[in-house]
Structure 1
Amino acid sequence: MKFQLDFGQASYQIQRYDSQSVTINDKIYTQSIIVMPEYLSEWAVKDFNRLEPDHFQRLRALCPEVVLLGTGAAIHFPTPELLTPLTHDGIGVEVMNTPAACRTYMILMAEGRKVAAALLFE
């Protein structure tokens, strides 16, 4: 018997990733992005140290259940003030390195969850 993981009807699936880039639907991205099962956009964040509350307001407007913040090769935790736009509305936030965020995104997407991966690259 052959088993195959079903990703449903999601339009944006991560195919490959590392701390420098991600490949989604055969296109390589090296700049910061936001990806959801039915949404993909550049994220105007140059690096972790330049994150501002407005960056998280943009994520909040997408109304995800959970945000996976991929912070590059290493895990960097944002201050609680930065995450206030999300936590105030009960949106879960998980901080991890970018490869882990990509793996977790694919699992949650396959479960039909409304997940957003906000991915930073170094």
Structure 2
Amino acid sequence: MKFQLDEQQGGNSISRHEKNRVWVNGQPHGSSLLVPWRGEVQAWGVDRFESLDEAAFERILALKPELVIFGSGERLRFVPPARYRALIEARIGLETMDLAAACRTYNVLAAEGRSVLAALLIEAQA
């Protein structure tokens, strides 16, 4: 029997998540972020669900994913389609999940070699 380490070669991986923190490639992040399947993890600049606007979703277009997994925070919340119209027009799929489900789903799709991006909302604490 051969044992192999199952890890993505050169891709990003979410190793842990909590209510207000996500670890990508072993590095903790305490604010909203964009995690592409390959390349640099980026701050998203959105600190509340109510702050999500068209510009927040347009930033995703430059990363050219085929699918976006939107982690809506601690609970499942859906953004009106008008706000992510740029993704719809570019024929980029958007799936909405709570933060924990989004992290798990992103890892599965990225491990399959898919051009996936996780847009993870980590809300600022009051």
**TM-score, normalised on structure 1?**
0.92
Query: What is the CA deviation profile of residues 18-58 of structure 1, one whole-angstrom value per residue up to 9, with x for unaligned ones?
Result: 22111112211110000012231000101111001011111
Query: What is the CA deviation profile of residues 89-108 of structure 1, one whole-angstrom value per residue up to 9, with x for unaligned ones?
Result: 11000000011100000000
> Are 1:107 and 2:95 matched, yes or no?
no
Query: What is the CA deviation profile of residues 41-91 of structure 1, one whole-angstrom value per residue up to 9, with x for unaligned ones?
Result: 000101111001011111012110000110111011000101101011110
Can you give the 5+ residue segments of structure 2 that lack an aligned partner in the other structure? none
Aligned to 1:17: 17
Please tell me whether the aligned partners of residues 16 and 24 of structure 1 are also in contact (alpha carbons under 8 angstroms): yes
Change (3 A) 1:31 1:3: same
**TM-score, normalised on structure 2?**
0.89
Please tell me whether the aligned partners of residues 56 and 86 of structure 1 are also in contact (alpha carbons under 8 angstroms): yes
Please tell me whether the aligned partners of residues 31 and 122 of structure 2 are also in contact (alpha carbons under 8 angstroms): yes
* 2:18 partner amino acid: D
Please tell me whether the aligned partners of residues 30 and 121 of structure 1 are also in contact (alpha carbons under 8 angstroms): yes
Aligned-residue Cα RMSD (Å) equals 1.5
How many angstroms apart in 2 are the aligned matches of 1:92 and 1:72?
19
Query: What does residue range 83-102 of structure 1 map to in structure 2 within 5 Å?
Result: 83-102=84-103
Aligned to 1:80: 81
What SS does the aligned partner of 1:103 have? helix
Q: Percent identity?
A: 41
Please tell me whether the aligned partners of residues 33 and 41 of structure 1 are also in contact (alpha carbons under 8 angstroms): yes
* 2:20 partner amino acid: Q
Change (3 A) 1:87 1:27: same
What SS does the aligned partner of 1:99 have? helix
How many angstroms apart in 1 are the aligned matches of 2:66 and 2:46?
22
Aligned to 2:53: 52
Quote how far apart the aligned CAs of 1:4 are.
4.8
Of 9-18 and 61-70, more deviation after overlay is shown by 9-18
Quote how far apart the aligned CAs of 1:7 are.
3.2
How many angstroms apart in 1 are the aligned matches of 2:5 and 2:98?
24
Please tell me whether the aligned partners of residues 11 and 110 of structure 2 are also in contact (alpha carbons under 8 angstroms): no
